[in-house]
Each structure stands twice: as C-alpha cells, then as structure tokens.
Amino acid sequence: MQIELTINEKAVKWEVAFDELLADTLRSHGFLSIKTACDTSCCGLCTVWIDGKSRLSCSILSLQAHGKKITTIEGLPKEAEEFAQILSAEGAEQCGFCSPGFIMSVLAMKNELVNPSEEEIIHYLTGNLCRCTGYMGQLRAIKTFLGVA
Amino acid sequence: MKSVGHSIRKIDGMAIATGKPVYTEDLAMDNALVVKILRSPHAYAKIRSIDLSKAESLEGVECILTYKDVPNVRFTLAGQSYPEPSPYDRLILDQIVRYVGDEVAIIAAVDEKTAQLAMKRIKVEYEVMEPVLDFEQAIGHSSIVHPEEDLSCNFEIGLNKEKNIASSYHEEVGDVEEELKRCAVVVEDVYYPQAQAHTMMETYRAFSYLDHTGRLIVVSSTQVPFHIRRQLARALQIPASKIRVIKPRIGGGFGGKQTGAGDVFAALVTLKTGKPALIIYDRKETFTCTTSRHAMRLRVKLGADQDGIIRAIDMQVLSDTGAYGEHAPTVLGCVGHYTLPLYNKTRAVRFDGHAVYTNKMPAGAFRGYGATQGTFALESIVNKLAERLKLDPTEIRLKNISKVGETFLTGQGVMLGSTSLDQCIVRGKELIGWDEKFPRREVGPNKVRAVGMAITMQGSGIANIGTASAEIRLNDDGNFTLLTGATDMGTGCDTILSQMAAEILEIPMEIIIVNAGDTDTSPYDPGSYASSTTYVAGTAVVKAAEELKSKILAQSAAFLGVSREDVELNGLAVRTLSGDQEISFAKLAELTILGTGKLQLVGYATHGSEVSPPPYVAGFAEVEVDRETGKVDLIDYVAVIDCGTVINPNLARIQAEGGIAQGIGMALYEQVRYDELGKMATNTFMQYKIPTRKDVGKVRIEFEVSYEPTGPFGAKSIGEVVANTPPPAISHAIYNAVGVRENHLPITPEKVFLGMQK
Ligand code: FES
Ligand code: FES
C-alpha cells in the first residue's frame, strides 16, 4: 500500500505493508534515530512527533501516518543539538539509547507547557524510561534547558 | 590537573544523544539474513524428533539448524578471563532443553516474516521430564538438570551434577561456633533477593559476516569482545584468529552483556551460509532467555559483644544459577568477598555456599555480582543487631568498619590502602537529617515517614587475574591515538581513559583519537566488568602514556642536541629548560615517522593489580509508608561515595544515580514470577516494573574523596558498588516505619500490608 506523508518537512510517498509499524517504516527509510525497546508501548524510546504532538511510533500503523506530518530528531537538528549539549554536559546521556526519544518528548514538552514545575516535568516524561541514569541528571538538564529552578 | 578531575563531556555524547547511527543494528547490512530462535515451551524435556520439511521448503528460508548441526563441544557463555571458572555446560543447541525458552532451532531467512512463519512450521516432539523449579529443592531432586557426561570445568569449583550443584564454596577463619557462643548477642535471619532483570534499553543483538579474507566478523552489543571471540572459537570449533569481534556503541549492559547471547547463533548462520546475519532479541526474549541476577537464599548469623563489636559472621548461601552455570562459582564467592571484609573486628567468619542448577532461565553477571545480594543480607542483619543492642545503626558501623592500614580475617594479610567510609557515613547522616528523623515520624493520620541505612563495598578489578593493555602512539601529524580494549557501554571509559592520557602527556583531549573495543586492533582487555575499567585499564593507560612521554622527551632532546634532563613538555612541543630551543610534536612526528626517522614513538603497557581496593558507599533512605495500604513512597535517597579520586565528577555522578535507581527497583518494584510449569510470567515491562522517573523520589549523591595509592591518580572503581545499598537501606526504613521486616525482595505494598496485619 502506498502512503503519502510529510517527514521532516519533506513530502514522501512510501510503500508499506498493512501491518507495518511506523517505527519500523521509519528505520527502514534510514531514520535510524528511532529506537525501540519494548513491545508493549511502555518505554518511550520510539517517540516521534505526529502533527507536532509526541507519539509512540511503535504503537501506530504506518498506514495511520497517511496524510500526517511526522517529525523525527533528524528533522530538528538545531533544537536537538541545543538540548543534547546540555544533556551531555550533565553526563546524562549514558548509553544514549533512550536519548533521541527522550529529547523528542522534552522538545514537545517545551512547546506545550509554560514554565512547568518539577512535578509537571516528571509527569509529562513518565513514559520515557531510562535504565542507565536514574533520571536525576536528565531532570537537571531539563531545568537548565528551560531556565526553571 | 587539567583533564583529570574535570566533568568533561563524553567524546561520543552528542552522537549518541542525537540518535546518530552508531549502534549494532544501525551498522548491520541491509541484506543481512534475519535470525530467529525456536525456543522450548517446556522447562525440562528431551527432543524426540524435529520435522523441518514444511519450514525449509518456504521461499526465503536460508537455513534451519538443530542440535544435529552444531559442534559437540560444551562451552560457557560467561565472559571471563581464560581459564573460565564457569562450567562448560552448554552446547550451541542441545537435544535436552533445560528451561522454558532454551534454544531448539536456529532459523535464518530473508526477512522477519518468513523467519517467523518458518518457525511456526517446525514440528518438534518432546519427551517432557519433571523440572526442578524450586531452587531450595534442587539439591537431591529426583531430576538431574545436567546428566551429560561431557560437562567439564577448568577448575575444581565444587560441581556435583548428580546433586544439581553447579558450584560450592567454603571459606572459614577461626571457630565460628565457639565465637558465637562467647558473644553477648547473636542475631540471625534468612534473606531472599530476587532474580533481577538487567533491562538494558538496547536488547541483546549481534550481526556477523565474512570479510574479504573469509574471516568471521561479529559486531556485537557486548561488554566483552575478547571473551566473545574466545567463546565463539570454542563453540564453533574454529581458530580465534579467524574471528574478529567489534563492539560499537552499546545501549546499556549492567553485566548482562558480560555473558554471550545471540552472537553464536548469528555467527553459525554466517559460517553455514556465507551470508551476513543479524540477530536481535526482542524484549520478551531478553526477559526470559538470557540471564538475570542470581536469586539467593542467605542465612546469616552475627555475633557481637555487649559494646556492639561484631565478632563472628556466619553466612550460608544458596544461589539459583538456573539451567546453566554462567558466573555461578564467581558470583557465589563474591557474596562473601565483598561483604566479610566490611567489618574487620571479627574473630571468626564462615562462608558456606552452593550454587544450584534449576530448570529456569540461567543467572549471570549483574552489576554488584553477588555483593548486592550479600549486602542485602549482611546489612539487614547488622541493622537488626543495632536494634537489639539499642545502638544507633550508624554508630555500630563506625565502630566496626575497617581503617586504612588494617587487614581483615579472610584477606590474607592485604592491607586496606584507602577508605573514607567513616566520613561517608557521617556526611550521609547529615544530608538525610538522620538525627531528627531516626527512626520514624508520623506525618499524617495514616502516614509515617522513616529512615534506614546501609553501607557497602565492592572491588576494583580482579586481583591477579584481570589485566589490561593500552597503547598510545604519536601519529604522523602530531596527534595521538589511544588504543584500548576497554569497552565503553555508555559509562564513558573512552572519555575517562583519554582524560588520563591527556593529563600525563599534557595535551588537550581533542588531539587524542580513541580506538577501542575491536579484537583486531585493540590490545587485550578482558572488557568492562568487575569494576575494573578505571582502575585497571586506567593504570595501563597511565603507564603507556608515561612511557610515550619519556620517549618523546628523550627523542626531542636528541634532536635538539641536549640531554634528556634538559627538556620538558610545553604545550604541543618539547623545549629546553632554558627555553631557547623548542621542537613541536608535529615536527617530532615528522622527523621520527616520515622520511628518515623510521622510529614511530609508541607507549605500551600491560597492567594487572595484585590488589582490588574497595570503593565504599553509605546509603540512606527516607520512605513514607501508608498504613492503610502498605504503599511505600521513596522520598529521598542519599548516597555518599568513596571511589578514591573522582576522575570525571559528572560521569561518576550519573553512574551513581543510575546504580541507585536500579537498587531502588530491586528493593521495591522488580518482581519476578514463574508459573507452576516454569514459565516466566514477568516477561514485559507491563508485568516487570522498572522504576520510572516517578518512582525514584529524590536521589542525592556526594563524594568523599580518598586517595588509593595503587590506583590511577588515586582512583578506585564506582560502577558496581552504587547498586548495593538500596535494598537493605530501604528495607530498614520500611521496618522503622511500620515494623515490618520483609526479607523477600521486592518489598511490594501487598507484602508490607500483609506484614502489618501480623
Ligand atoms: S518501543 Fe517501547 S514504547 Fe515504543
Ligand atoms: S541512557 Fe541508557 S537507557 Fe537512558
């Protein structure tokens, strides 16, 4: 089946199988920032934006992306770099495997929440698991990034 | 110091954070065959027949391999220095399957769908046997998990397969029974730490292909490339020289990737077909078909005199190694090695342990490596002793811990070179507000808050066994290459080792190229485990850098026509002490490497340590318990750490915070359940809960620096020790809150609730 979508501001037509997941489609087209770490929509590693909202690309059929605007971290080089600089200055990208999905969630949060409290930040990002860092360093980086105490 | 001691960003940090294609799967060739494993549905069975005809005939199926197609040589997947202490008890595929998930057939096809379809079409007939599921019933069970004759060991590890004993360990100094009789107070209890899952975010994976000379190349998400090479050579019965193992960036390990998983299957497919092959374990396979922490039963008895001086420790340990013995003897031994030396006023200690085979997923290496389980038991019992003696738990530790220059009973006279554990305890106490909060405060009609604590130690490398080599070259254009076999798994050792090299050579890190984790190009290193990278590989790097530095000075002096004593490093150059002559590294490189030089300057060193100095942590937990529901909220966790000199404070802090979070998971959330037929029920993140960012409360880390004379720049290890304190400290806090002593981990709300009803 053919779908038409916009990926990182570029219109594309892709051939996909009816049961293909968006995460797999994206990887097969070279968007290798997409990581997956569960089969149960639990980890958040596969987070992308669909029409500007952060979504789990492992839990969406590629067919459902038809007509949508998809953004991956490859499409946000400037913003991602800006936050990644802060994150890695903190040392909070340990293995880094969770980082792209996490960064997509953080950037979405920045667009959605104004001056979030620590609690709101934690709540917004609960779906992004990280087994390496224990989350504290990520939180420090977010606070620096958002300029909140 | 210009490099060491600074929070330098990881050299690969930006690439991994922004999703650049640097992990195993990203590097695999698009045309690689997809490898899938048909796994046993039974906990213990013998394969009667396998019918592949319907599967093999499918278009796109390249090969299907069964036990008939593999070399008949037993090996171990444990990544350990040769000769491995773990028993050679597995075949690539065996006619006997020993747990639900054990491998039955390897399927390689052009794509995933075809492989899955082929898997469904394989017909296997099993003769189902009675499994050994309860590890406390394993010794003397009517079923024998490893009946085969060709199982072998490199050492006497106390294996007795007729009794399902994979390994036994006994250590005793003094007369424990006598000493206990003399003690004013004796406390004892039994503890059950669970088979925690590593749940690194990148599951196990490897891809393999043949290079232009027909050698087998395996790109693997592993902590131990050299061990994987040796393991593959034995399992596949080909010379190690025909194998190259490359470790790219890896998405977490925590000891899990110190045991092979999947590499051998992909490699076998490549050897059979000549084609590239990729194997990726899904999350369920990672939960159910790899390794976990060893579940254990620890009976501990502690005797003390009236003043609270601990005089006797008796530990009896039963460890569940599951279907295979990966790391069984060493994890068992480490339970005692990393607990008994903590308190050295003892007059007698005894350790007696068995690791037993069962028909469950094998256990293996997991951050903490026995120390975690031992610490849970020992520290819990010390807290119990403190209560019995009405002593403050922090005071009893301060009375009993080892000091610099002291020895301990089982330590064969080795003196402690560094410790700031006493300061760690004092500082941690302040940070958590111990004096105001111990033991408990009511904070609402049904809510109570309480604090608890524990201390721990680990080692730094494996004394007299772990060695690492490092090489540093001055390159043709005046920059440097650091070659090391250490395997960065996000922990930052590529960065930390270059920091050390930069410090010695007095150069900026930017001009050091790091080449690591490739068995073809790296000097030998056992890999990143046993808390050895900073301490052992770090010292090798320091020595190699020093050797190169002295060659640079000598050669420069010769070129400048002065004596060696008359020159010094100066930026990217060497100059005479008087400052009137100078030669740049670039010029030096040109003169030594290019044209007439014929003498590239290289520093090389191999290092192994005769001691394994302990890092320490004092951990303090504050919890809030709901008396109505048994729900436990972790409010605050303070860990004060002695890892000697802190080479890179930010990276050390993240290591510590991450280790503490894993310990919190083990203490409160990470429940492992099997059904009555031996199938693991907790095989997704839905059932097996690792901490989310809501579950960890606040974790605060501080360092109390000490100086370890045998370490690079005074450093000791940090990677593992940080995982150990949360189970006993949190358990202690819960007891202080509501009087429930729950010795089976994890301490779930139900258990607390039920405990309160008693
Ligand atoms: S892969 Fe885990 S939520 Fe998508
Ligand atoms: S950094 Fe490894 S999982 Fe988050």
Local confidence band at B684 (pLDDT 50, 70, 90 cut-offs): very high
Q: Give the C-alpha separation, A23 to A13, whole Å.
A: 16
Last residue of one domain, picked from the residues B608, B641, B675: B608
pLDDT at B719 over 80: yes
- Does one domain contain both B728 and B589? no
User: Which residue range forms the structural domain that includes residue A97?
Assistant: 75-146
Q: Give the C-alpha separation, B282 to B656, whole Å.
A: 28
Mean pLDDT of B86-114: 98
B72 belongs to a structural domain: yes
- Does one domain contain both B105 and B253? yes
Q: Contact at 8 Å (CB) between B167 and B329?
A: yes
Choose among A73, A122, A133: nearest Cβ to B658: A133
Q: What is the mean pLDDT of chain B?
A: 97
- Does one domain contain both A62 and A97? no
Segment A25-52, tens digit of pLDDT:
999 999 999 999 999 999 999 999 999 9
Ligand 1 centre distance from Cα of residue B681 (Å):
20
Judge: B199–A125 Cβ closer than 8 Å, yes or no: no
- Does one domain contain both A107 and A64? no
Q: Indicate which CATH number applies to the domain containing B532.
A: 3.30.365.10
How, if at all, do strands B277-280 and B33-39 pair? Answer: parallel
B residues 614-653 closer than 8 Å to A (CB): 648, 650-651, 653
Judge: B201–A35 Cβ closer than 8 Å, yes or no: yes
- Does one domain contain both A65 and A81? no
pLDDT at B597 over 80: no
Q: Contact at 8 Å (CB) between B292 and B366?
A: yes
Query: Does residue A84's CB lie within 6 angstroms of at least one atom of ligand 1?
Result: no
Query: Does residue B252's CB lie within 6 angstroms of at least one atom of ligand 2?
Result: yes
Which residue owns the Cα nearest ligand 2 atom 2? A95
Quote the DSSP letter at residue B186: E
What would the two tokens of residue B653 be? 């802090």
Q: Give the C-alpha separation, A18 to B756, whole Å.
A: 53
B654 and chain A in contact, CB less than 8 A: yes
Q: Indicate which CATH number applies to the domain containing A83.
A: 1.10.150.120
Identify the residue among B293, B489, B693 best suited for mutation to test binding to A, counting A beta carbons within 10 A and taking the highest: B693
Local confidence band at B412 (pLDDT 50, 70, 90 cut-offs): confident
The reported pLDDT for the residue numbered B531 is 87
pLDDT at A148 over 90: no
Residue B440: beta bridge partners? B450
Atom of ligand 2 nearest to the CA of A132: 2
The reported pLDDT for the residue numbered B619 is 98
Last residue of one domain, picked from the residues A72, A103, A132: A72
At B115 the three-state DSSP class reads: helix
- Does one domain contain both B707 and B625? yes
Neighbours of B53 (CB within 10 A): 9
Q: Give the C-alpha separation, B637 to A117, whole Å.
A: 21
B residues 276-315 closer than 8 Å to A (CB): 282-284
Q: Shortest CA distance to B406 belongs to which of B334, B345, B339?
A: B345
B310 belongs to a structural domain: no
Last residue of one domain, picked from the residues A48, A72, A96: A72
Percent of chain B residues past pLDDT 70, beyond the cut: 100
The chain A residue lying nearest B254, using CA atoms, is A132
- Does one domain contain both B268 and B245? yes
Local confidence band at B261 (pLDDT 50, 70, 90 cut-offs): very high
- Does one domain contain both A46 and A79? no
Percent of chain A residues past pLDDT 90, beyond the cut: 99
B289 belongs to a structural domain: no
Residues of B in contact with A88 (CB under 8 A): 9-10, 13-14, 17
- Does one domain contain both B102 and B120? yes
- Does one domain contain both B687 and B749? yes
- Does one domain contain both A93 and A109? yes
Q: Indicate which CATH number applies to the domain containing B96.
A: 3.90.1170.50
Local confidence band at A105 (pLDDT 50, 70, 90 cut-offs): very high
What would the two tokens of residue B512 be? 């050091």
- Does one domain contain both B598 and B627? no
- Does one domain contain both B473 and B432? no
- Does one domain contain both A65 and A94? no
B415 dihedral zone (left: phi>0; alpha: psi -120 to 50; beta): beta
Local confidence band at A120 (pLDDT 50, 70, 90 cut-offs): very high
The pick from A35, A87, A131 for probing ligand 2's pocket by mutation, whose C-beta has the most ligand atoms within 8 angstroms, reads A131
Q: Contact at 8 Å (CB) between B563 and B557?
A: yes
Q: Give the C-alpha separation, B285 to B37, whole Å.
A: 10
B699 and chain A in contact, CB less than 8 A: yes
Which residue owns the Cα nearest ligand 1 atom 3? A41
Counting ligands in written order, which one lies closest to the CA of residue A132? Answer: 2
Choose among B17, B201, B659: nearest Cβ to A45: B201
Choose among A38, A43, A93: nearest Cβ to B16: A93
- Does one domain contain both B492 and B601? yes
Judge: B252–A125 Cβ closer than 8 Å, yes or no: no
B104 belongs to a structural domain: yes
Last residue of one domain, picked from the residues B583, B608, B633: B608
The pick from A21, A24, A42, A102 for probing ligand 1's pocket by mutation, whose C-beta has the most ligand atoms within 8 angstroms, reads A42
Segment B464-483, tens digit of pLDDT:
898 999 999 999 999 999 99
- Does one domain contain both A65 and A82? no
Q: Give the C-alpha separation, B477 to B468, whole Å.
A: 28
The reported pLDDT for the residue numbered B607 is 96
- Does one domain contain both B676 and B729? yes
Last residue of one domain, picked from the residues B579, B608, B637: B608
Ligand 2 centre distance from Cα of residue B491 (Å):
10
Q: Give the C-alpha separation, B222 to B207, whole Å.
A: 12
Q: Contact at 8 Å (CB) between B472 and B480?
A: yes
Residues of A in contact with B251 (CB under 8 A): 35, 37, 95-97
Local confidence band at B264 (pLDDT 50, 70, 90 cut-offs): very high
B643 belongs to a structural domain: yes
Q: Give the C-alpha separation, B111 to B61, whole Å.
A: 9
- Does one domain contain both A120 and A132? yes
| Contacting residues for B269 by C-beta, under 8 A, at least 6 apart | B33, B35, B62, B63, B65, B106, B108, B208, B275, B277
Q: Indicate which CATH number applies to the domain containing A51.
A: 3.10.20.30
pLDDT at B43 over 90: yes
B90 belongs to a structural domain: yes
User: Which residue range forms the structural domain that includes residue B542?
Assistant: 467-608
- Does one domain contain both A6 and A43? yes
Identify the residue among A29, A83, A131 best suited for mutation to test binding to B, counting B beta carbons within 10 A and taking the highest: A131
The whole-angstrom distance between A69's CA and the closest CA on chain B is 20
Give the count of domains, chain A: 2
Q: Give the C-alpha separation, A141 to A82, whole Å.
A: 11
Give the count of domains, chain B: 3
Q: Give the C-alpha separation, B123 to B375, whole Å.
A: 47
Atom of ligand 2 nearest to the CA of B202: 3
The whole-angstrom distance between A80's CA and the closest CA on chain B is 7
Judge: A133–B661 Cβ closer than 8 Å, yes or no: yes
The reported pLDDT for the residue numbered B558 is 94
How, if at all, do strands B512-516 and B480-484 pair? Answer: parallel
What does pTM read for this prediction? 0.97
- Does one domain contain both B480 and B537? yes
Ligand 1 centre distance from Cα of residue A99 (Å):
13
- Does one domain contain both B562 and B690? no
B549 belongs to a structural domain: yes
Segment B187-223, tens digit of pLDDT:
999 999 999 999 999 999 999 999 999 999 999 999 9
B155 belongs to a structural domain: no
Last residue of one domain, picked from the residues A72, A96, A123: A72
Query: Does residue A44's CB lie within 6 angstroms of at least one atom of ligand 1?
Result: yes
Segment B115-147, tens digit of pLDDT:
999 999 999 999 999 999 999 999 999 999 999
Percent of chain B residues past pLDDT 90, beyond the cut: 97
- Does one domain contain both A20 and A46? yes
Mean pLDDT of B534-551: 97
Local confidence band at A67 (pLDDT 50, 70, 90 cut-offs): very high
Q: What angle do CA B697, B702, B703 make, to 5 degrees?
A: 150
The reported pLDDT for the residue numbered B595 is 73
The chain B residue lying nearest A127, using CA atoms, is B692
Q: What angle do CA B660, B666, B669 make, to 5 degrees?
A: 110
Q: What share of chain B is helix, strand, coil (3-state, %, to 5)?
A: 30, 25, 45
Which residue shows structure tokens 């490596």? B369
Identify the residue among B654, B683, B694, B702 best suited for mutation to test binding to A, counting A beta carbons within 10 A and taking the highest: B654
Local confidence band at B56 (pLDDT 50, 70, 90 cut-offs): very high
Residues of A in contact with B12 (CB under 8 A): 96
pLDDT at B235 over 80: yes
Residue B512 half-sphere exposure toward CB, CA atoms < 13 A: 28
Q: Give the C-alpha separation, B6 to B340, whole Å.
A: 34
The reported pLDDT for the residue numbered B594 is 86
What would the two tokens of residue B620 be? 């303090």
Q: What is the mean pLDDT of chain A?
A: 97
The reported pLDDT for the residue numbered B528 is 87
Local confidence band at B596 (pLDDT 50, 70, 90 cut-offs): confident
The reported pLDDT for the residue numbered B333 is 97
